[in-house]
Amino acid sequence: MPTPPRAPRGVIAPGRLFADDQGAIAQLHGVGIQKFGDLFYAWGEDKTNGGTFGGVACYSSPDLATWTAHGHALAVSPDVPDLAPGRVIERPKVLRNPGGTYVMFLHVESADYAYARVGWAVADQPEGPYTYLRSERPLGNISRDIGVFADDDGTGYLLSEDREHGLHVYRLSADYLAVEEIVSTTLTPPSDHPAGPHGYESPALVKVDGLYYLFGSDLTGWSTNDNKVATASSLAGPWSDWADFAPPGSATHDSQTSTIVTVHGSLTTSYVYVGDRWDRDDLFHSAPVWLPLRIADGAARLEWRDTWTIDPTTGVIA
C-alpha cells in the first residue's frame, strides 16, 4: 500500500496523514481525545516500532486539525515489564478524575496477544509524563480493545472487549483507578455470525440528549468492516439492535472506530468520528479517517467529506 499523502495544514482530510508542528507524521493511531480548557489533547500509539510498543505520543490542538507534539506521555521502559521493548500497548485513552488527576487506560498485551489486560497510568497534567501503576484482567475477564466514558455526574466507565463473553461496560471507582462492576454486556447478533455471538471491539461511547450511543467494530483482524452502533436510555440496557452508521458495504469508509469526539460550541454541538485505516505492513503511516458524525433521535450517520474543518468555538462544521 502506498504511503498516504499529508493533509493540508489546518484541514482534516480523511485518509491523509496529519503532520505536527515539527513537520513529522503525527502518531495518532488508536487515539483517545479529550478537551481540557481551550485545547484538544490526543494520545496515540507511536508506531515507530511497528506493532510493538514505541511509546504513547501526546499532541494538542485548538481545532482537531493543527497538532503540536508534546513527546511521549508514556515511554518505553525496560525496567517496567508491561512497558518493555517487545510489548504491545494499544488504544491509549485518558479521563480526568473528579480529583483532577489524569488517568490513562491502556490495552496491555504480549506479542502473542495472550496477556489481554487493561493498564493504568496517572499524571498531574494531560501531556504527562504518566506514572505507570499496574495492569489486570478486570474482574477476571480478558481485556483487549478499550474505550472510556465519563457520564454527566462524573461517574467513569471502561469499555472492554472480551471476545466470546461480549463487550463489557464496567463502572469505575470514584478515582477511576479500579473496576467495580459490570453494568452491561453486549454481543453481536447471533444470526449474523454462524460461529456464534461475540463482543464488538474498538468500542466508543457518547451520550446525546439523554440517550447512550455505543459504537464498535466486528472481529475481522486488520481488515475493515461495517462498524455498528446500538443505543440505550441507560448504560444497564436494554440495548437496541446493532445498526450501520456508515453506508452498508463501505467498511465504514475503510476504517475502524477509535473514539467519538463531542465538540460543544456556542451555535451547535457537533460529533466527530475518529477512525483508523490500518496498514499492517506500515503501521507508522496508517492513515486517520476522521469525519463528521450526525447523531440524533436514536440514529447515527457518518458523512464523507474529502476535506473539512470544525470551528471549536461555534461547533460548526464546514
- Residue 139: its pLDDT value, please? 98
Q: Among positive and negative, which fits the CA dihedral 39, 72, 42, 167? A: negative
- Residue 164: its pLDDT value, please? 81
CA distances from 247 to 197, 198, 200, 279, 303 (A): 23, 23, 19, 22, 9
- Residue 313: its pLDDT value, please? 97
pLDDT-based confidence at 1, cuts 50/70/90?
A: confident
- Residue 231: its pLDDT value, please? 98
- Residue 179: its pLDDT value, please? 98
User: What digits encode the pLDDT tens for the residues 102-146?
Assistant: 999 999 999 999 999 999 999 999 999 999 999 999 999 999 999
Q: Cell numbers for 221, please give them.
A: 483482524
pLDDT-based confidence at 35, cuts 50/70/90?
A: very high
Average pLDDT of the segment spanning 39-49 = 98
pTM: predicted TM-score of the whole model, two decimal places: 0.97
β-partners of residue 229 are 215, 243
CA distances from 150 to 95, 159, 206, 219 (A): 7, 11, 9, 26
DSSP notation for 219-260: S-TTS----EEEEESSTT-PPPPPEESS-TTSHHHH-EEEEE
